[in-house]
Amino acid sequence: MTNLTAGPPLVTLPGFLAHWQGHRRLTRRVIEAFPEDQLFTFSAAPPMRPFGALAWEIQQVSELTLTGLLTGEWIEPDWRGGTSTDRARLLRHWDALSARLDAEFLQVDPAFFGQTHRLPWGEMSGWEAAIYTIDNEIHHRGQGYVYLRALGTEPPAFYER
Amino acid sequence: MTNLTAGPPLVTLPGFLAHWQGHRRLTRRVIEAFPEDQLFTFSAAPPMRPFGALAWEIQQVSELTLTGLLTGEWIEPDWRGGTSTDRARLLRHWDALSARLDAEFLQVDPAFFGQTHRLPWGEMSGWEAAIYTIDNEIHHRGQGYVYLRALGTEPPAFYER
């Protein structure tokens, strides 16, 4: 493989994986922090979706991104797969993907990050696709923090991963 | 400088700068989207702070991070500097830092990202410090989206940078 870099990397594959997994652990704690009867029903500002629906979106986009980075195929998920209102089922899918990330992410070709890919929502580099996935998770999870506060529940510490 | 990498970079300095500035442009639009009398007063879930206070925090942490990456000095800001409730003043500071980022960020030594630094809130690598700053911006801006929705205002599109 040609070495295209002129210096040390801003972040390595293991560093990026640790970053992603830290966010997944925090989002998992937010999912768990909701009162069970509010996770899929409550919105602090309707028509915004309940946090359970946002969490399923995060899960499906993350799955798409890992598969895309590994195979070059970016297939829009069947969003109906994210309509279950069973927290235990959501967490099972969540944990399975986290395990898959640990097992497979380091096999991603670093060159993939610099190349342009065609995603269901437009053309972007692998870096942009990967970081967008995490950004979208942080964005929606931040909204979940407001929901929790509105429900009178202390959210998990943002800086703890 | 020794080349420590084994392959192409996940992200380059210009790529990271574009990522950061895209977020700053979006957050600026969120600051502007608030009704002026609500920016520094409204909270969708008290005791959460109004979005204007969160935006000042983002601004001060971003300033600290740019200076830290450039000089190795990570100095806790005087948070009282972020208590103005004048939107025009906030936007002037915001734009001045965005211009500074464009002018100075590419001078950051890439090796800095892999080294460990002592920040006011703990030891971390330059990558972790830099990406944490952006993550914190996304987190609080996501909260601002809920505030805007609660105020009946359509927030700017998340994917537009």
Q: What is the CATH number for A130? A: 1.20.120.450
Whether A115 maps to a domain, the answer reads yes
CA distance A71 to chain B (A): 17
- Residue A1 has a pLDDT of 42
Provide DSSP, B18-43: HHHHHHHHHHHHHHHHS-TTTTTT--
Indicate the number of domains in chain A: 1
pTM confidence score: 0.95
Cβ distance A7 to B111 less than 8 Å, yes or no, reads yes
- Buried b / exposed e over A111-120, threshold 16 CB at 10 Å, is ebbbeebebe
pLDDT more than 90, % of chain B: 88
Helices (H), A2-158: 13-33, 51-71, 87-104, 111-114, 126-150
> Which residues on chain A are in Cβ contact (under 8 Å) with B17?
none
Cβ distance A143 to B140 less than 8 Å, yes or no, reads no
pLDDT in tens, B72-95: 999 999 988 788 999 999 999 999
Q: Are B25 and B102 in contact (CB under 8 A)?
A: no
The beta-carbon neighbor of B10 closest among A1, A16, A44 is A16
With cut-offs at 50, 70 and 90, classify the pLDDT of residue B18.
very high
pLDDT at A7 over 90: no
Q: Is A140 annotated as a binding residue?
A: yes
Whether A5 maps to a domain, the answer reads no
ipTM: 0.95
Whether B158 maps to a domain, the answer reads no
Whether A155 maps to a domain, the answer reads no
Whether B75 maps to a domain, the answer reads yes
The range of the structural domain enclosing residue A120 comes to 13-150
Whether A120 maps to a domain, the answer reads yes
Nearest CA in chain A to B134: A135
Whether B122 maps to a domain, the answer reads yes
The beta-carbon neighbor of A45 closest among B11, B132, B150 is B150
Whether A30 maps to a domain, the answer reads yes
